[in-house]
Structure 1
Amino acid sequence: GEMTSKPLPLLAALAAALAMPALAADVQGATNDPYSLPAGGEQGLDMAVVDPEAMPEEPEQADERLFDMEEGWNGAPVDLMRPVHPLYTELRRALVRYQMDWSRLPRTLIPEKGLALAPGTTDPRAMMLRQRLGLGPVDPLSPTASPYDGLVEERVRDFQAAHGLPVDGKAGPGTLAALNRGSGFYERLIAINLERARRLPAPGTANAKKYILVDAAAARLWMFEDGQPVDSMKVVVGTPQSPTPMMAALMRYVNVNPYWNLPPDLVAKLVAPNVLKYGVGFMADKRYQVLNNWEDDAKVIDPATVDWKAVASGATELRVRQLPGGSNFMGEIKFMLPNNYGIYLHDTPAKDLMQKDQRQLSNGCVRLEDARRLARWLFGEMPRAQSEDAEQRVDLAAPVPVYITYLTAGITPEGRLAFAPDTYGRDSRLLARFDPLAPRRTVGGGR
């Protein structure tokens, strides 16, 4: 059926769906996750509590007395009586606009197989597309006989822009799949992201003075002051196999001229085979050192004394680090928010990755497009180390909260609603609980 419900019943339905017990397989990290979610928290919506002091105050929207449950919310873009994160207010308005623009159209299903539909086509599906977009019959006096006229092309472009699809005015498999999914799917998606936005710090609350927001879905970082965004940059985040966790933590210090401690699996897969092939000189060429343990006071040992075959086979786990400077994988600076996930923010020499649209490419850590700019925002200047060759810790005057979330619906700088692909599959797990019969399909692209 057609979904023309107002946002509040939609959010109430979401809340009811999420009140059901989570499926065992839906737990974000694993059974050994070192951190808990807030009381009553939900995987994929809530941030894990790394530092309790970083947690935003309990969001006021949780208090449903703000609304008349009988009347619901009338959809007027009014400011709430109590502050919420600006994204919540913007998404709420976007949901009303979305419902006005796209929720009242006929639910005509269009076969997705076949060539992309383009202006001038004689494909019989063009008539179905016209109907689905709420456009009337073709003007008999029109110079083109095709039902896919300029009006349809313009409406397809509008639809693509509103649903985070490439805007080309042609109805290919991705656009047809989104049309067939129906507006209810996207309304639920906005509702899920409203819930995520509701958990971020509201202006005027203690943690909203100065904080960092990382969105792993859009692979972007924002710097906030007094509850408002003041700067933004691209980032690279974890792959679907090693996703960047949703968490609330405190950034306490930076390491200037950082060492790079290689993950043990990389030492076994990349370093050891090369040492066996090229000899221990490989270590000096790459500026790698071997350490005797993982403690802070670990000693450097001679790579010639290591059983590299045992390291390559995985029988021995070895700590290897890369010296600061040069092509060091951490770049010039590493921003530390101590946590047991091993997640931090860092500079990167691989700036070319920032040009990609999909930037879920790291082992989980957050690589920064412009680490110096973030450092200047935090310290007023880029902190310097006393020596080029050694890592140096510089403490922040006061810890700065860092919120890592996952926003698959957001607002562009131009004020447009935009959807991001559900790279980590968190939406599909939540949507399956909202509508257990719904097929699990990712946003963006065809089947």
Structure 2
Amino acid sequence: MIAALLAVALIESSALAQPAAGQEGVRSSIGAEIRASVGGKLRDFYAPRGYWPLWVDGSRVGGQADALLDLIRTARADGLDPKDYDLRDLERVVEEANSGGGDPKLLARADLALSKSFSAIVRDMRRPSKRVKMRYLDPEVQPRDDDPAEILRAAAVAASFTDYVRQAGWMNPFYMQLRTARQGFAERWGNLPDVMVSAGAKLRPGVKGQAAVLLRRRLGLAEGGSYDKALAAKVRAFQADHGLKADGVAGAQTVEALNRPSGWYDRMLALNLDRARLLPGPWVRHVVVDAASARLWYFSNGRQDGTMKVVAGAPESQTPLMAGMIRYATLNPYWNVPSDLVQRKLSQRILNGASLSQLNYEALSDWGANARRLDETEIDWQAVADGRQQLRVRQLPGGANAMGKVKFMFPNDLGIYLHDTPSRDLLAKPARHFSNGCVRLEDAQRLGRWFFGKPLVAESGEPEQHVPLPQPVPVYLTYLTAVPIGQGVQFLPDVYGRDGV
């Protein structure tokens, strides 16, 4: 991932700014000190740049060091320990360097120490958690440990090194938003008393009685029996942070959120951070599909280019956690009907008098590339309905085809892909888990233009026209049950039962 980010940044970044004449001599002296003491993997970074310092601006350690120190101080949000990155020593060497009157030896020591700790925390932030099982289909998306030289080169060519460190530009934006939320949750809601709030009628400003007493206790307010302005303000703050409508009324959803067990939110945020850390940073051109929220995003050049609704797998036919490379589009696609649907639904329609041709389907002799088309009289539909015979059936291209006009393929043995859909009504639903595992797109044509840089148009009515992508694009199918929204986090239903918290 760092290598891909570096490639983009090298293309898009201007050359490193040339130092002022007075500063060049200072930096040359620092470079000489770095050359005399650098070793190991760090030398692979410093040597090609003439041992030029990375963290020094003029005769002082720059603001990028403050950004790194802040990142390390808050590393517990990543499930990491600040002590593992020599926090106290870093603070000391930076202070000594900045109070040393431009001493090249002190500045060189600080530069090397900062580079060492920076490459270590970047590596550890990106390292996958063992509790999240993502299936990787291609070597291009397989996680790997980037060496310190690659990590530092990517940082060195960032448009703003300070912003790159402060915003952790090597991580996916979802990760950083959830990380920020986890810090805020711990500060604002982590130490409140575990008090069960009465469920039932809505609690609103002006209400008095035991329910208001319990609500005040749960939110850490002074004892009292009324739903006053202070309580309403606290309820609104809680709602905003938890992705609920911030109206100051404690209805059923708000009370349910308040009554979750101690530590539930922190565990959920930690789990979803582990899922989000598997996603690449925004400089990598890629697509993310979140099955939990049934949404898709696509990124390139350091930004989010777009998003859209999708229909994801139903609980009984879940969209898997999977990463691969989208390699081609198929225009005018067939739909290979899943065997269970052929048995449960299609066979019943045929037995009730319909025909394959009327329904725009055809049956094939097997699942091979050279399968023969079967005449309908050859098929024992009762045997198919009883489960005694499996039959390959596919829907022909056309306006009613379940694949729509195009599907985007990242080859895998589960038959999962992204595709167009004529069933627009399902996209209007707030919960969109209806598919057999594949991902139905709200706007396949828009995504196709992003993939290919031009509209996707079939050359003829011929079925299954394959159009290779000029450059394959990574796609990540994930499952985020905590998603950033506004200034807070929305906690989504665990429709697949994967959270276990």
Tell me the residue number matched to 2:251: 172
Give the letter aligned to residue 417 of structure 1.
Answer: V
Tell me the residue number matched to 1:108: 195
Q: 1:221 to 1:80 in 2, by over 3 A?
A: closer
The alpha-carbon deviation at position 243 of structure 1 amounts to 1.2
| Whole-angstrom CA distance in 2 between matches of 1:311 and 1:241 | 22
| Whole-angstrom CA distance in 2 between matches of 1:7 and 1:184 | 19
The alpha-carbon deviation at position 189 of structure 1 amounts to 1.1
Out of 375, 378, 401, the position equivalent to 1:302 is: 375
| Whole-angstrom CA distance in 1 between matches of 2:463 and 2:320 | 30
The alpha-carbon deviation at position 163 of structure 1 amounts to 1.8
Out of 277, 281, 284, the position equivalent to 2:352 is: 277
The alpha-carbon deviation at position 396 of structure 1 amounts to 0.7
Give the letter aligned to residue 497 of structure 2.
Answer: G
Tell me the residue number matched to 1:316: 389
1:45-444 alignment, distance < 5 Å: 45-58=132-145, 79=166, 83-112=170-199, 114-137=200-223, 147-182=226-261, 184-203=263-282, 208=284, 210-279=285-354, 282-412=355-485, 414-428=486-500, 431=501
Could you tell me whether the CA contact under 8 Å between 1:160 and 1:166 is conserved in 2? yes
The alpha-carbon deviation at position 108 of structure 1 amounts to 2.3
Tell me the residue number matched to 2:79: 11
**Residues 21-48 of structure 1: CA deviation (Å, up to 9, x unaligned):** xxxxxxxxxxxxxxxxx998635x2421
Could you tell me whether the CA contact under 8 Å between 1:107 and 1:132 is conserved in 2? yes
| Whole-angstrom CA distance in 1 between matches of 2:220 and 2:253 | 19
The alpha-carbon deviation at position 268 of structure 1 amounts to 1.0
SS of residue in 1 equivalent to 2:476 = strand
Identity across matched positions, percent? 46
Could you tell me whether the CA contact under 8 Å between 1:343 and 1:364 is conserved in 2? yes
| Whole-angstrom CA distance in 2 between matches of 1:219 and 1:180 | 26
Which has more helix, going by share of residues? Answer: 2
Deviates more, 1:336-345 or 1:48-57: 48-57
Give the letter aligned to residue 287 of structure 2.
Answer: I
| Whole-angstrom CA distance in 1 between matches of 2:276 and 2:231 | 34
The alpha-carbon deviation at position 82 of structure 1 amounts to 7.7
| Whole-angstrom CA distance in 2 between matches of 1:259 and 1:287 | 11
Q: Which runs of 4+ in 1 moved over 6 A?
A: none
Could you tell me whether the CA contact under 8 Å between 1:289 and 1:322 is conserved in 2? yes
Tell me the residue number matched to 1:143: none
SS of residue in 2 equivalent to 1:372 = helix
| Whole-angstrom CA distance in 2 between matches of 1:356 and 1:169 | 26
Tell me the residue number matched to 1:438: none
User: TM (normalized to structure 1)?
Assistant: 0.76
Larger Rg: 2
SS of residue in 2 equivalent to 1:293 = coil
**Residues 86-116 of structure 1: CA deviation (Å, up to 9, x unaligned):** 322222222222222222333322243x333
Q: What is the total number of aligned residue pairs between the two structures?
A: 370
Could you tell me whether the CA contact under 8 Å between 2:362 and 2:393 is conserved in 1? yes
User: TM (normalized to structure 2)?
Assistant: 0.68
Give the letter aligned to residue 264 of structure 2.
Answer: F
| Whole-angstrom CA distance in 2 between matches of 1:228 and 1:58 | 24
Gaps of 5+ in 2: 1-72, 82-125, 149-163
Q: 1:385 to 1:78 in 2, by over 3 A?
A: closer
Gaps of 5+ in 1: 14-37, 62-76, 139-145, 432-447
Could you tell me whether the CA contact under 8 Å between 1:233 and 1:369 is conserved in 2? yes
| Whole-angstrom CA distance in 2 between matches of 1:201 and 1:60 | 16
Could you tell me whether the CA contact under 8 Å between 1:102 and 1:183 is conserved in 2? no
